[in-house]
């Protein structure tokens, strides 16, 4: 495969604009991976449907009578017209708008208009039903895979699934949902979120003095530390319009006068434990489902980012989370979606957000932190076209998340079998931040 990473820490620039490389991804990567197709709020009731488009493929995901999910290719078996658009309810199934062929909510053909005018070989039983697509549910989302030979969903998304189960992902609900069109290759777009190396330069407001133990413990002032923590939480909350949820910031503000030990390590640990407990208590008292955050911490599950190859992210923070999905729209264009997820008392969940109209990357409605990330991406996409620029050079220690992701892409483009791809997926489907380059087995 041309433009593979020959060295794990060098990514040839052609990966991000070469049309043949892009075509290889279209043929060898996307048809073989589990993809988050929709959040289940979109298909809350039996017969609700939601369309998921990836490249030139369109898939209809439908809620079944027993609250499972099923999926079909979005193409009428007559002359190929898409039977569904956007999302909605298909109480009596789908009627093709062209010549009126009908399909049940289970995809079975129920009517062919003027059937007798077709010859027998065009009316073979089974041949007229919408073509099924594999579909499974996990983590409050429906997932599809276009490859009948792929292993089951869960096998492909571990250990991400186990970590996010501990966070009780399926009880999070979307508070808002934005979409942004980025003039950049999808892998460059994702890579901007696969490392923390950029934070100091790109998000200077997140570097808050007083949050970390000073070299000289005598210099430590618990009050300054608590103020710095609250300032950080507020900045994250405003910067992401969620992630650290406004409720949690208010809970932290209520703890401002906490008495902390003079020892820095002890003081920090006490603050985190107390704040975690206060968040859990507040949400449980309100009637919401929330895991014990200190237990997550003790089990090593309190990680700021869960990554699921190839295009899904969850960034949990206390009661809430941000979630991302990236889809290529062309070699140099990406659709990024952001969900803000939080917890509600049972029965008080808000209405499902409308499907978002994509904004431009510099739209003033984009929250401040992603605005900072997006501002660099068009400049990067133009920069890598420079004649003298050959490859992205990655930090072995700090940008392993990027290198591991790109090498997994290469595993798919090389057409490797699932028995080789599964160990690689297991090695990268977890927090990519501050992660070194790891052995993927190929
Ligand atoms: S294309 Fe669907 S009925 Fe003709
Ligand atoms: Fe960032």
pLDDT at 212 over 90: no
Q: What would the mean pLDDT of 170-183 be, rounded to a whole number?
A: 97
Contacts of 352 (CB under 8 A, 6+ apart): 39, 41, 42, 44, 174
The pTM of the whole model exceeds 0.85: yes
**Residues β-bridged to residue 336:** 180, 326
Which pLDDT score is estimated for 1? 87
Mean pLDDT across the chain? 97
Number of structural domains the chain divides into: 3
| DSSP per-residue letters across 186-229 | HHHHHHTTS-STTHHHH-GGG--TTSS--SSGGG--HHHHHHHH
pLDDT at 6 over 90: yes
The helix/strand/coil state of 381 is helix
Q: Is residue 200 lining ligand 1, measured as CB closer than 6 Å? A: no
> Is the shortest distance between the CB of 81 and ligand 1 below 6 Å?
yes
List pLDDT tens digits, range 42-59: 999 999 999 999 999 999
CA dist 344 → 3, 160, 285, 288, 403 (Å): 47, 23, 11, 5, 38
pLDDT (average), residues 223-233: 96
Q: Give yes or no: residues 394 and 289 share one domain.
A: no
For residues 43 and 82, membership in a common domain is answered with yes
Residue 191 CA to ligand 2 centre (angstroms): 10
Of 77, 81, 111, which is best to mutate to test ligand 1, by the most ligand atoms within 8 angstroms of its C-beta?
Answer: 81
Mutate-to-test residue for ligand 1 from 98, 113, 123, highest number of ligand atoms within 8 A of CB:
98
pLDDT of the residue at 213: 85
Q: Is residue 72 part of a domain?
A: yes
- List pLDDT tens digits, range 103-137: 999 999 999 999 999 999 999 988 999 999 999 99
Burial class (CB in 10 A: 0-12, 13-18, 19+), 346: exposed
Using pLDDT thresholds of 50, 70 and 90, give the confidence band for residue 389. Answer: very high
* Nearest Cα residue to atom 4 of ligand 1: 99
- Which residue range forms the structural domain that includes residue 418? 10-32+168-197+306-311+322-428
> Is the beta carbon of 379 within 6 A of some atom in ligand 1?
no
pLDDT of residue 214: 87
Look up the CATH number of the domain holding residue 24.
3.90.380.10
Tokens 């100091």 appear where?
Answer: 200
Task: Answer whether residue 1 is part of any domain.
Answer: no
Residue 434: is its pLDDT beyond 90?
no
Tokens of 128: 């007229």
């Amino acid at each position: 495969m041309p433009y593979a990473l020959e060295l794990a820490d060098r990514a040839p620039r052609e990966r991000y604009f070469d049309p043949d490389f892009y075509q290889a991804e279209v043929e060898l990567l996307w048809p073989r991976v589990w993809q988050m197709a929709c959040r289940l709020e979109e298909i809350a009731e039996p017969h609700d449907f939601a369309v998921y488009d990836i490249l030139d493929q369109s898939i209809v995901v439908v809620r079944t009578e027993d609250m499972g999910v099923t999926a079909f290719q979005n193409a009428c078996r007559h002359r190929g017209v898409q039977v569904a658009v956007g999302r909605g309810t298909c109480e009596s199934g789908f009627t093709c708008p062209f010549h009126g062929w009908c399909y049940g909510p289970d995809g079975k053909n129920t009517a062919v208009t003027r059937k007798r005018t077709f010859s027998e070989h065009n009316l073979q039983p089974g041949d007229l039903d919408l073509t099924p697509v594999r579909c499974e549910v996990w983590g409050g989302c429906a997932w599809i895979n276009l490859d009948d030979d792929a292993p089951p969903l869960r096998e492909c998304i571990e250990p991400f699934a186990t970590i996010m189960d501990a966070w009780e992902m399926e009880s999070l609900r979307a508070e808002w949902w934005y979409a942004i069109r980025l003039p950049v290759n999808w892998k460059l777009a994702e890579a901007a979120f696969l490392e923390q190396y950029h934070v100091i330069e790109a998000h200077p407001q997140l570097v808050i003095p007083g949050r970390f133990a000073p070299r000289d413990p005598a210099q430590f002032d618990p009050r300054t530390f608590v103020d710095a923590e609250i300032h950080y939480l507020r900045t994250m909350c405003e910067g992401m319009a969620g992630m650290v949820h406004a409720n949690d910031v208010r809970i932290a503000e209520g703890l401002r006068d906490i008495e902390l030990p003079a020892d820095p390590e002890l003081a920090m640990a006490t603050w985190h434990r107390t704040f975690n407990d206060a968040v859990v208590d507040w949400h449980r008292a309100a009637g919401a489902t929330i895991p014990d955050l200190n237990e997550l911490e003790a089990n090593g599950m309190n990680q700021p980012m869960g990554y699921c190859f190839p295009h899904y992210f969850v960034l949990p923070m206390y009661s809430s989370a941000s979630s991302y999905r990236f889809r290529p729209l062309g070699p140099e264009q990406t659709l990024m979606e952001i969900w803000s997820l939080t917890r509600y008392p049972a029965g008080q969940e808000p209405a499902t957000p409308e499907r978002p109209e994509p904004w431009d990357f510099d739209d003033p409605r984009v929250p401040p932190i992603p605005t900072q990330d997006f501002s660099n991406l068009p400049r990067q996409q133009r920069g890598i076209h420079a004649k003298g620029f050959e490859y992205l050079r990655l930090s072995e220690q700090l940008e392993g998340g990027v290198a591991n992701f790109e090498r997994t892409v290469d595993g798919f483009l090389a057409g490797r079998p699932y028995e080789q791809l599964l160990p690689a997926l297991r090695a990268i489907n977890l927090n990519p931040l501050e992660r070194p380059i790891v052995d993927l087995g190929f």
